[in-house]
Each structure stands twice: as structure tokens, then as C-alpha cells.
Amino acid sequence: MVVAKIAPSLLSSDFACLAQECERMLALGADYLHMDVMDGHFVPNLTLGAPIIKCLRPHTKGFLDCHLMVSHPEQWVDDFASAGADLFCFHIEATEDAAALIDRIHAKGMKAGMAVKPKTPIDVVYPFASNLDQVLVMTVEPGFGGQAFMPDCMQKVSDLRSKFPELDIQVDGGLDTENIAVAAKAGANVIVAGSSIFKAKSPGEVISLFRKTVDEAQAAM
């Protein structure tokens, strides 16, 4: 049985206090620190990159879960490895040789993740899943925070969980206290949430609720 891993999205944090925000989330019970990397090309927004990860790394021992919403992710593997990223998650839609990219990521000492957009069929992941550490099923269109959760994407999570029961399956986009049960029952165990954690009156309570909901759903499977 896989375990719950809660990954606050630092895209919703105060970037002027990024290191402190990371430590605050860890103190509140976060397992991962989700870093949204956007290049202004693969997605229309532009956010942080490897230099910021490198600056952040000495200030936190947290697991840096880097989601690269970028074109040509191959060109950034060395930079993110050197910067101290723990997991390098690329989009299947952005590469022409996913198998080679996964091998490169592992060779650099990072865990490898593969992300799929809402309209991408989940079966494109199947040939690579046994060599992946995590699959990210996007539940919004990548590129901006604060979008509404797409429940239709949960069928992809269910299909993936049925074929790969021990795989870490991450969901990202619009997750909150109202829909976490839907994602957990579908089989997601790694939960990314930005606004619903950072804007909550008690972020620690939200993290605890997410964990409890996922663990109960996994126990019932």
C-alpha cells in the first residue's frame, strides 16, 4: 500500500520569503515541497528556475519536488541536478524520447516523474511506469494556480492505480477539502495543493485532513 505524501505548491507562497515558507510547510507536516517551474513557452506563465532551487537548497532539507512545465526538458536535467532537486518531473508532451530522459534523470541522482495534461490519455504512461518514481496526473491545465479541479481526470488516476498498485500517483490542480476524497478514492496518494493550503486559516489542519483522507482511502482498497 502506498502512503500519503502532501506537497504544498510553493507557487502560492510568498516568494519574498521562500525559504521561510518552505520551512513553515515542513513544520506543519508537509512531505514534499512542490516547485512549479514554468518557461513561458510550454505554458504561458513564467516562474522560478534552477538558480532559485540552487539558492533555496542550503536553507531546507525538504524534498524538492520539481515539476517542469517546460519545452525540451532534456536541456535542464544537469542544471536541476546541480541545483539540488530531489525529483525532476517532466511532461510527456514535451519530449521525444521519454525513456532516455528518465535514464538521464536517474543517472544524475534524482527521482524521475512524468506528468500528463488533462487531455492526454493515460495509456501513454504505461510503457514507462515501471521505471518511474512518480506519475503526475494534472487536474487542471498547467500554467496557472487557482484553477478549478477537473473531476473527469480521476478516471485516469483509477486506471493507473489498477495497473500499477505500488506507484506514487500525484494529482495537481484545484485540490481542496471539498474534493480531496474524490482524488483519494481514485487512488491518488501524492497531493499537490497551493491556494487551499496557503490561504487556509489553519494550513496544518488542511495538510492533516489531506493525509487522513488519502490513508483511509488506501486502507480501503
Residues within the annotated binding site for substrate?
Answer: 9, 67, 143-146, 174, 194-195
**Residue numbers belonging to the annotated binding site:** 9, 34, 36, 67, 143-146, 172, 174, 194-195
Which residue among the candidates 31, 168, 172, 176 is catalytic per the annotation?
172
Q: Which of 10, 8, 107, 23 is nearest to 62 (CA)?
A: 23
Which residue among the candidates 31, 36, 159, 176 is catalytic per the annotation?
36
State whether the Cα torsion 216-212-4-152 is positive or negative.
positive
Residue type at 145?
A: G
Catalytic residue status for 36: yes
Q: Does residue 80 contact residue 50 with C-beta atoms inside 8 Å?
A: yes
Residues 190 and 139: their CA atoms lie apart, in Å, by: 13
State whether the Cα torsion 174-175-176-180 is positive or negative.
positive
Residues 218 and 24: their CA atoms lie apart, in Å, by: 27
Catalytic residue status for 65: no
Q: Exposure string (b/e) for 189-198, b if CB count within 10 Å is 16 or more?
A: bbbbbbbbbb
Residue type at 92?
A: I
> Which string of DSSP letters, residue by residue, matches 83-103?
HT-SEEEEEGGG-S-HHHHHH
**Residue numbers belonging to the annotated binding site for a divalent metal cation:** 34, 36, 67, 172
Q: For Cα atoms 77, 78, 80, give the angle at the middle one, nearest 5 degrees.
A: 70
What's the burial of 202, exposed, middle or buried (CB within 10 Å: 0-12/13-18/19+)? exposed
* Catalytic residue list: 36, 172
